Copies of this chain bind each other. A is one copy, B any other.
Amino acid sequence: MKKRRKARYSSENYIQGILQGDRVLLSQSITLIESRLENDQILAGEILEAILPHTGNSLRVGITGVPGAGKSTFIEALGKWIIDENKKLAVLAVDPSSSRTKGSIMGDKTRMPELSQDLRAYIRPSPTQSSLGGVARRTREAMLLCEAAGYEVIFVETVGVGQSETLVRGMVDFFLLLMLAGAGDELQGIKKGIMEMADAVVINKADGDNLHRAQVARAEYESALHLFPSSESGWQTPVLTCSAQEKSGMAEIWEVILRYRREMEKTGFFQKKRQEQQINWMFDAIRQNLELDFFKHPKVQAALPEWEEQVRGGKVPPLSAANSLLNMYKQS
């Protein structure tokens, strides 16, 4: 029966393993972070605390795009380019709707066949969490572990369409939006405002018959982006074209990302943004904890659906419902 008990390392084992770049221990540590078991969480906390001095050295790149834009192929192509530049690359996926049982691990391996077989790259599927806040926390922590394990570039890929873009943008240095030309932009399903969050817009599938359309789209997006003010950083969002299929345009894209870092480090914006992200992270963690305590309270859980129904139907004012629930919570 002993066999059923998984070998369990001490935090020291994990810490040493991660710092030495051990992929298995890195993966297991990320699993600890995703675990809801209290013992796992304590262990994860110890590991995080210890590796912290070894984090923050990567370039964190968020990648989002509409379904069909060829995101996996793009990440393969750009990722391949980066590891060929002798940089270690980690790819983390953020998908609030994902469920591990649906096979997302296998999914990630098959959709990025080259990267997943290359030891200079580390691919981690999205944690299985229903709450967006939970996903954010776990992704941030996984990012730190990867940094401690020596990964110099981290891609954070949004898989779901919707809120996850804002979330990812809040944890990366550079945010890249992948688009398609000629597919009818109305149909691309990009949430309003996403395009304006991008530090670069890349139009994929600029190849074959599609080349001209991609170039036209590039000009269109460029002029559309000019209608909007430049951001606080002073960075003017460039629009590029590429073909992930043909692996063309990768040098230019990578150079834009590096140029962003150079220029923003010079102005101090890069560091300032990271500091703000740290502070936001602290406040997020506090808020999440307070809410979690509230919403997981048995009495609240039992009463909430009825109050929600009453509010929706206009029978109870939202504030009265909120106060009733809060009183219930505080009195017990």
The CA-CA distance from A320 to B278 in the complex, in Å, is 12
Which of B195, B227, B282 is the one whose CB lies under 8 Å from A185? B227
A186 contacts B230, C-beta separation under 8 Å:
yes
Q: Tell me if A289 counts as interface (CB < 8 A to partner B).
A: yes
Q: How far is the CA of A227 from the CA of B217 in the complex (A)?
A: 10
Q: Report A34 CB to chain B, min CB distance, Å.
A: 15
Question: Which partner residue on chain B sits nearest A56 by CB separation?
Answer: B314
Asked whether any CB of chain B lies closer than 8 Å to the CB of A221, the reply is yes
Q: Who on chain B is nearest to A225 by CB?
A: B224
Q: Mark A274-288, 1 if CB is under 8 A from B, else 0.
A: 010011011101110
Interface residue? A37 (CB, 8 A): no
Copies in the complex: 2
> How many Å lie between the Cα of A220 and that of B323 in the bound state?
48
CA distance A156 to B67 in the complex (A): 37
Q: Which of B228, B286, B307, B319 contacts A281 (CB 8 A)?
A: B319
A318 beta carbon closer than 8 Å to chain B: yes
Judge whether B278 and A312 touch: CB under 8 Å. Answer: yes
A112 interface residue per 8 A CB criterion: no
User: Is A211 close to B, CB under 8 A?
Assistant: no
CB-defined interface of A128-149 with B at 8 Å, one 1/0 digit per residue? 0000000001000100100000
Q: What is the bound-complex CA distance between A228 and B191, given in angstroms?
A: 8
Q: Contacts A286-B294, A290-B294 known; A311 to B45 CB distance under 8 Å?
A: no
Instruction: Digitize A283-311: 1 where CB-to-B-CB distance is under 8 Å, 0 elsewhere.
Output: 10111011100100000000000011001
A187, CB-defined interface residue at 8 Å = yes
Q: List residues of chain B with CB within 8 A of the CB of A45.
A: 319-320, 323
The reply to whether the CB of A19 lies closer than 8 angstroms to some CB of chain B is no
* Closest Cβ neighbor of A195 among chain B residues: B228
| Residues in chain A within 8 A of chain B (CB atoms) | 45, 48-49, 52, 56, 137, 141, 144, 185-190, 192-193, 195-197, 220-221, 223-224, 226-231, 275, 278-279, 281-283, 285-287, 289-291, 294, 307-308, 311-312, 314, 317-323, 325-326
Residue pairs across A and B with Cβ atoms less than 8 A apart, 7 shown, are A185-B228, A188-B229, A192-B197, A224-B227, A282-B307, A285-B319, A290-B326
New A-B pairs, 5, CB < 8 Å, besides A223-B224, A279-B318: A224-B227, A279-B308, A282-B307, A282-B311, A282-B318
